[in-house]
Amino acid sequence: MSAKKTNVDRGVTINKSEFKAAVVKHLHCTLGTDENKANNHAWWKATCAAMQEQVLEGLRKTQKTHYLNDTRAVHYFSAEFLMGRLLSNNLQNFGLFDVANAALNELGISLSDVLEEEPDMALGNGGLGRLAACFIDSLATMELPAIGYGIHYEHGLFRQEIQAGAQIERPDSWRDYGNPWEICRPESIQEVSLYGYVETKYGENGRIQKEWHPGHIVKGIPWDIPVVGYGGKTVNVLRLWQSKASGYFNWDVFNAGGYVDAQVENVQAETISKVLYPNDETEAGKELRLIQQYFFCACSLKDIIRRYKRAHGDDWSRFVDQVVIQLNDTHPAIAIPELMRILVDRAELDWDKAWAICTKVFAYTNHTLLPEALERWPARMLEKILPRHLEIIYEINHRFMKEVDKKWPGDNSVKARLSIIEEGPEKMVRMGHLSVVGSYAVNGVAELHSRLVKENLFPEFDQLWPGKLTNVTNGITPRRWLKTCNPALSKLIDSKVGDDWPLDLKKLAGIEKYASNKTFQKQFMQVKLQNKKVLAEEIKQSLGIDVDTDAIFDVQIKRLHEYKRQHLALLYIMALYRRLLENPDYDMHPRVFIFGAKAAPGYKLAKDIIFAINKVADKINNDARVNQKLKVAFLPNYRVSLAEKMIPAADVSEQISTAGKEASGTGNMKLALNGAVTIGTLDGANIEIAEEVGDENIFIFGLTVDEVKALKASGYKPYDYYYKNAEIKAVLDWLETDYFTPGKPGALASIKQSLLDHGDQYLVLADYEAYSEAQEAVDKAYRDKERWARMAIINTAKMGKFTSDRSIKDYVERIWKLNACPVVKE
């Protein structure tokens, strides 16, 4: 390939023939096959192996540089990393995509077919897990010393099948045929203790010492996934822990006759990292989940301390200069008492010294205000699994309550509100409170959310420690979410602003001046049309539905949850259907509503909503009276790789959560970046998106946070809307008939019930009319081709703020205090 003019400095250079030779070498020597026998899967593995040579070289140089410089590093603790596929991303970040494409082409192989062979690494539920993946991409790109720590789940998020309209969960097996990226590091195996009892001892100087006699020890095996920064210079690591039986059982604990039990426990050790819990936004409260959390935190802390000691021995004084740990929500909050245990019981530091270290190391990100998502563990469960940690938590709380008493003397109600321990029939440990008390910084993920964290979730904490609670608005990596997933748009942007926008997303503003330029509008919308054709093909393949690419592609992709209100869109779709049946000339631009969503397996209403969308879709798509104008496609098994196909093809982005409920959203940013126009509420980061694009380039509707509060306070009565609005009534009544479920009347009735009899907690009916009006405004705007093209272009142009590089810069400057450490050329 001829060298292209580029502003992006690269860590590696390898040409087409070298790449080709490497692929063939791996086909022969790693996979034991040859060009004639190899299928696409083998080609994929061989291509990954060729790439991995470059990746590992980058990893080695990075680790050496970080070691020699004894750098301060951030340790991102997260129970979830939703990585998706890595090959295309690694090729892009190394600048080798075109090289690989040409090399495989000469071998008669299509790179895009090869890319499709890669299973998604779906080790996360949704936004929180994907945020972690975007953040580690940015950290590597910005040459920051960082390591991601998490769990090496054998099964990631379930694979969703739709059968007769209903969601069926199938196990995800991302590693069944091996994973070409991960490296096992047996030399860094760690041991983790569980169960048992605590012995109190008295040392020589009268010092009370605690000794935990664990009942059970499990091994943590580290698997490293290299994380390639854009430019390919820094390659950081995501270290994921797999559990294994250690063969250890304590005869003190498993005494006479306990041998069989001990064997059973051994088998259970391997279940710790078996499966990702599929509940987003609900606290599961299961013992295994707590063990998962402790398991990866304990392994990771040991790993950090081992590395620290290698450089600093037993001198703890520099620990806080070298180590910062970011807690991705409260899932890793147990790391706080674990570090205290290590410092006090093992390193024999005074409590105050240990606490001073702890509270300079941890920072905590909150991702939700939903009460059902706030983690609380029964004290009894902690006592059984982690008896010493419970004692430590009590001690942390005891000292904290003294501090509270100093600030609010004698005020027991404020104590009850702030206490880490919630009293009641069953004593509970509030992990959010523990995280706030044990961290030096706490952040929400969008401006509105962070304000509500301060005002509603942890109000007195903000008075106690002014400045501790802060905001870092989320972001997304433009490498994956524009450059890689939308190559045609990327090239068009390159032609106007140069090719370094993936490193400096504000440069996208450079296309704004072409927003009204007819030629550019045409080019921009031509790219959109091509992307819509690709998605239309996917819809045809997956569902057998033909969709018209001239129609508006209206996309709602996110986990299924009542607060996200997919059923608000559903009611509107049904209303359009009704309008078209009543008046075949009803004036609307053709529209395809496209959904992607997984429901937590135990979340009945969420599954009912998926079922309803599919049943309504069946009816509409097969009704010749309307299906020229209206179609509905629910694409099964929504995941990162499917998002990468849906997002570039979207015209409209649905961001319609009840105000105050969606902490930030990140899909909203990805869609707008790819030129979709948002219809959304004033919630989460939608507010900041609106600020960037301007009110004329977004369709905002619905109640604000204050209005939601006022309506609820005044006694919200959903029946009022049912009786007042004939369309709402007709549509809800329709759900109860057997029109969509022939022979099964009432099959969709639970949705109506939730909206009327169960009080419509998320104010779907209150926002319906405003939503319907906003949708009509969307329809009108779309029909004005130039206006729409301008809106779409401005959306892309104004997304600079939402690069995850900016989020990381915020964390680095305001919370982590890190320096970049460029990898030296050897």
Among the listed residues 38, 91, 128, 652, the single contact to ligand BZD using CB under 6 A: 128
Question: Candidates 318-326, 339-347, 662-670, 782-790 — which segment interacts with ligand BZD by CB under 6 A?
Answer: 662-670
- When asked if residue 278 is in the footprint of ligand BZD (CB under 6 A), the reply is no
Comparing CB distances to ligand BZD, the nearer of 279 and 549 is 279
N- to C-terminal Cα separation, the chain:
26
Of 150 and 665, CB closest to ligand BZD:
665
Query: Distance between CA atoms of 558 and 680, rounded to whole angstroms?
Result: 14
131 is an interface residue for ligand BZD by CB under 6 A: yes
666 belongs to the catalytic site? yes
78 binds ligand BZD (CB under 6 A): no
Cβ atoms of 475 and 806 within 8 Å: the answer is yes
Which of 20, 75, 159, 367 touches ligand BZD by CB under 6 A? 367
Q: Which stretch binds ligand BZD (CB under 6 A): 70-78, 119-127, 199-207, 581-589?
A: 119-127
Residue from the set 662, 692, 767, 805 that interacts with ligand BZD by CB under 6 A: 662
Residue 368 binds ligand BZD (CB under 6 A): yes
Q: Look-up: residue for tokens 């192996």?
A: 49
How far apart CA 98 and CA 95 sit, in angstroms, is 8
Q: Identify which of residues 143 and 281 has a Cβ nearer to ligand BZD in the complex.
A: 281
Reading the block at residue 263, the tokens are 């064997």
> According to the binding rule CB under 6 A, does residue 435 interact with ligand BZD?
no
Question: Which residues, in sequence order, are CB contacts of 345 under 8 Å at separation 6+?
Answer: 209, 210, 211, 212, 388
Q: Which of 474, 641, 674, 772 binds ligand BZD (CB under 6 A)?
A: 474
Specify the residue for token string 């559990």. Answer: 243
Residues near 465 by Cβ (< 8 Å), separated by ≥ 6?
none
CA 8 to chain centre: 28
> Is residue 376 a contact point for ligand BZD (CB under 6 A)?
no
Point out the catalytic residue in the list 66, 367, 591, 615: 367
Cβ atoms within 10 Å of 184's Cβ, excluding its own: 13
CB atoms within 10 A of CB 71: 16
Binding ligand BZD by CB under 6 A: which of 118, 281, 499, 692?
281
| Annotation says 558 is catalytic | yes
Answer yes or no: 368 catalytic: no
How far apart CA 302 and CA 497 sit, in angstroms, is: 47
Task: Quote the least distance from Cβ 449 to ligand BZD, whole Å.
Answer: 7
Q: For residue 167, give the 3-state DSSP assignment.
A: strand
By beta-carbon proximity to ligand BZD, the closer residue of 62 and 279 is: 279
CA 313 from chain centre, in angstroms, equals 37
**Please, are residues 186 and 164 in contact by the beta-carbon 8 Å criterion?**
no
Judge whether 367 counts as a catalytic residue.
yes
Q: Say whether residue 486 binds ligand BZD (CB under 6 A).
A: no
Decide whether 368 or 435 has the Cβ nearer to ligand BZD. Answer: 368
Considering only 52, 54, 89, 125, the residue that binds ligand BZD (CB under 6 A) is 125
Spatial separation of the C-alpha atoms in residues 216 and 248, rounded to whole Å: 7
Residue 670 annotated in active site: yes
CA–CA gap between residue 483 and residue 98 (Å, rounded):
13
What sign has the CA pseudo-torsion 412, 416, 421, 425? positive
The residue from 507, 559, 629, 661 that is catalytic is 559
Taking Cα atoms as reference points, which of 194, 210, 483 lies closest to residue 348? 210
The DSSP secondary-structure symbol of 555 reads E
Output DSSP code: residue 271. T
Contact flag: residue 292 with ligand BZD (CB under 6 A)? no
By CB under 6 A, how many residues form the interface with ligand BZD? 19
Minimum Å gap between C-beta 331 and ligand BZD is 7
Question: How many angstroms separate the CA atoms of 820 and 140, rounded?
Answer: 10
Residue among 159, 564, 639, 806 flagged as catalytic: 564
Using DSSP's 3-state secondary structure scheme, residue 298 falls into helix
Told to check if 663 binds ligand BZD by CB under 6 A, we report yes
What is the closest distance, in whole angstroms, from the C-beta atom of residue 142 to ligand BZD in the complex? 19
Pick 373 or 497: Cβ nearer ligand BZD: 373
Selected binder of ligand BZD within 523, 664, 674, 678 (CB under 6 A): 664
Closest CA to 428 of 377, 375, 388: 377
Q: Which two tokens stand for residue 419?
A: 């206490």
| 804 near ligand BZD (CB under 6 A) | no
How many angstroms separate the CA atoms of 435 and 455, rounded? 17
Which range, of 59-67, 139-147, 365-373, 402-410, touches ligand BZD by CB under 6 A? 365-373
What is the SS3 assignment for 756?
A: coil
Region near ligand BZD per CB under 6 A, out of 531-539, 660-668, 690-698, 715-723: 660-668
Instruction: Find the catalytic residue in 216, 607, 615, 670.
Output: 670
Per-residue tokens: 629? 């104008």
Q: Which is nearer to ligand BZD, 505 or 685 (CB)?
A: 685
Q: Which is nearer to ligand BZD, 367 or 479 (CB)?
A: 367
Residue 316's CB is within 10 A of a number of other CB atoms, namely: 17
Of the two residues 729 and 801, which places its CB atom closer to ligand BZD in the complex?
801
Active-site annotation, residues: 367, 558-559, 564, 666, 670
Q: Which residues bind ligand BZD (CB under 6 A)?
A: 125-129, 131, 280-281, 367-368, 373, 445, 474, 662-666, 684
